[in-house]
Amino acid sequence: MTIRYDGQVAIVTGAGNGLGRSHALALAERGAKVVVNDLGGAVDGSGSSSDAALETVRLIEQAGGEAISNGANVADLSQVESMVAQAIEKWGRVDILVNNAGILRDKSFVKMTMADFQLVVDVHLMGSANCTKAVWELMRGQGYGRVVMTTSSSGMYGNFGQANYGAAKMAVVGLMNTLVMEGDKYDIKVNCLSPTAGTRMLDGLLTDETSALMTVEAVTAGLLTLCDKDAPNRTILCAGAGGYARTHIYETDGIFLAPGDQTPENVRANMDAIESTDNQQMLIGGFQQTDKFVSKASAYLKNN
């Protein structure tokens, strides 16, 4: 089966360069009409220009597709709402949102200003929230939507000098987890893409040989699987250099300590049992953790 998006409208943020441009071109090639969003700033978020977005639109049109450019700053909700209104005026709907826009302000935490921390969170987390909020009611009304957040191994596993970026990238996983629940009955599926590619964000950090392997197109192949009608849901798909994997979050079964034994010393003494992976589970809602702990406590009370 060939994945197609004929008759669908997609918004791709940060689509002037790199991964975003690759995503936009591929969606258009497979039939989607695309809003190419890009503020046109530098990697650190400074400056703005419409040139990059317009070039992506030109490439789409040159290949026979349909696209419009938009320069909204995703961290500004009013600008994002105007972008969605532009898409509705042009094509009447929005089926796919790819939250790809991002910036870097890398420094060790001791040297990082909180202004730089805030700005990165504003673009990555609030930008994703703003764009999703702007299309959410529309997608509910349509009874259909596909939303992709862009997370990162820097968020899920950590990376020196990226406290701001890592915090924001892990936060969008939490955003996905709740939106999956709230969008389920409206056929809105929400997933995360964790990419690694030789884009301008990694300039100077990769050898030419490595960069040649880490193509944006390899990542986009993963992205496309998260956007179609048969997309999975609540998936963290990792993609890079032709490799594809899925990240899961597990919780160990844990232990129960009776009321008189609930001391920090006993928690420490039982750490091996707490960390045991026997019977660990993937939880799909915060309530499941509570249910598990209450069940252990109830079983103790029943037997004592």
Share of the chain above pLDDT 70, in %: 95
- Name the percent of the chain lying above pLDDT 90: 90
**pLDDT tens profile 163-197:** 999 999 999 999 999 999 999 999 999 999 999 98
Q: CA 163 to CA 169: how far, in whole Å?
A: 10
Could you tell me where the DSSP H helices lie in the chain? 18-29, 51-62, 77-91, 114-121, 127-142, 153-156, 163-183, 208-213, 216-225, 264-269, 271-275, 286-302
Rounded to a whole number of angstroms, the CA Rg of the chain reads 22
Q: Tell me the CA distances in angstroms from 17 to 50, 52, 73, 101, one per residue in order.
A: 12, 7, 15, 10
pLDDT band at 206 (very low <50, low <70, confident <90, very high): low
Q: Is-above-0.85 flag for pTM?
A: yes
197 φ, ψ (degrees, to nearest 5):
-150, 160
Provide the residue ranges of all domains of the chain, joining segments of one domain with +: 9-247, 259-302
Residue 213 is predicted with a pLDDT of 86
Structure tokens of 9? 């409208």
Q: Does domain 9-247 sit in CATH 3.30.300.130?
A: no
Tokens representing 142 are 């349509």
Answer whether residue 44 shows pLDDT above 80. no
The region of weakest confidence among 29-43, 80-94, 263-277 is: 29-43
Q: Choose the catalytic residue: 165, 186, 250, 300.
A: 165
Task: Answer yes or no: 165 catalytic.
Answer: yes
SS3 assignment, position 96: strand
Whether 33 has a pLDDT exceeding 90, the answer reads yes
Question: What three-state secondary structure class fits 245?
Answer: strand
What is the pLDDT, as a whole number, of residue 204? 55
Is residue 31's pLDDT more than 80?
Answer: yes
The pLDDT-based confidence of 30 (bands split at 50, 70, 90) is: very high
The CB-side HSE value for 228 (13 A sphere, CA atoms) comes to 18
